[in-house]
Amino acid sequence: MVKLSVNLNKIATLRNARGGNIPNLLQVAKDVQSFGCHGITLHPRPDERHITYKDVYDIRSVIVTELNIEGRPTDKFMELVLNVKPDQVTLVPDLDNVITSNSGWNPIIYQDFLKKKIKKLKESGIRTSIFLNPNPEFIPFVKKIGADRIELYTGYFSIGYFKKKWNCIDPYIKTALKAINYHIKVNAGHDLDLDNISFLIKKIPFIEEVSIGHSLISEALYMGLENTIQSYLKRIQT
């Protein structure tokens, strides 16, 4: 079964726009779990423009499902995750000037760097994943790095799907199949929504987890948060 992890960054962005504690991030974290999601994703960026480091510590105490923390592995980030010990850490190559994650790692160029970070995480018993563009040639290097999973960056897929270019899924299928052959599990995330998620899961049914935030929260403005989560669960389980 594909698991749904709800990214709460956009809830934090809305709260931060006015200061104070509305919406209450901890209450939303409790609610989305009670609505049926399988986990929560948090992405604290260095400038803390949405999820703050304090948020991560606070939310840890209300997690009854799984916690996935993603981000660029700076010294501060590594200290955070080694203290919090989430179920999974997803390493993302964010630059300071990006609005949102827009590419995965090149594990050939960053092989030594990522290997050291992942070693520290695995020594603490944390499942590891790296954000990856769909390229089968990267998989042997992911294996050398020691990551347990990849998270396929699905931004390119989303654009192709919107333009009805159905072959946009092909490099994702090839990369995912090669990962499985190397005993690396597959997650996916970025720009997934209620329109394209079923197509992705149909083509790659062995995806372990999808992490969805921006679209899910946006759709919830019209549909309600509980109804939106239930709609995603129905689509990923078909």
Q: How much is the pTM?
A: 0.93
* Predicted pLDDT at 212: 96
Which is nearest to 90 in space by CA: 187, 212, 181, 200?
187
CATH number at residue 151: 3.20.20.70
122 contacts: CB under 8 Å, gap ≥ 6: 128, 146, 148
Which is nearest to 81 in space by CA: 41, 33, 47?
41
Task: Report how far residue 32's alpha carbon sits from residue 70's, in angstroms, rounded to the nearest whole number.
Answer: 19
Per-residue pLDDT of the chain (238 residues; tens, 9 = 90+): 899 999 999 999 999 999 899 999 999 999 999 999 999 999 999 888 899 999 999 999 999 999 999 999 999 999 999 999 999 999 999 766 655 666 789 999 999 999 999 999 999 999 999 999 999 999 999 999 999 999 999 999 999 999 999 999 999 999 999 999 999 999 999 999 999 999 999 999 999 999 999 999 999 999 999 999 999 999 998 6
**Token duo for residue 37:** 């999601």
Look up the domain containing 221 and give its range: 3-236
* Predicted pLDDT at 46: 87
Catalytic (active-site) positions: 43, 70, 190
Instruction: Give the CA radius of gyration of the chain.
Output: 17
Number of domains in the chain: 1
* Predicted pLDDT at 96: 63
Task: Report how far residue 151's alpha carbon sits from residue 93's, in angstroms, rounded to the nearest whole number.
Answer: 12
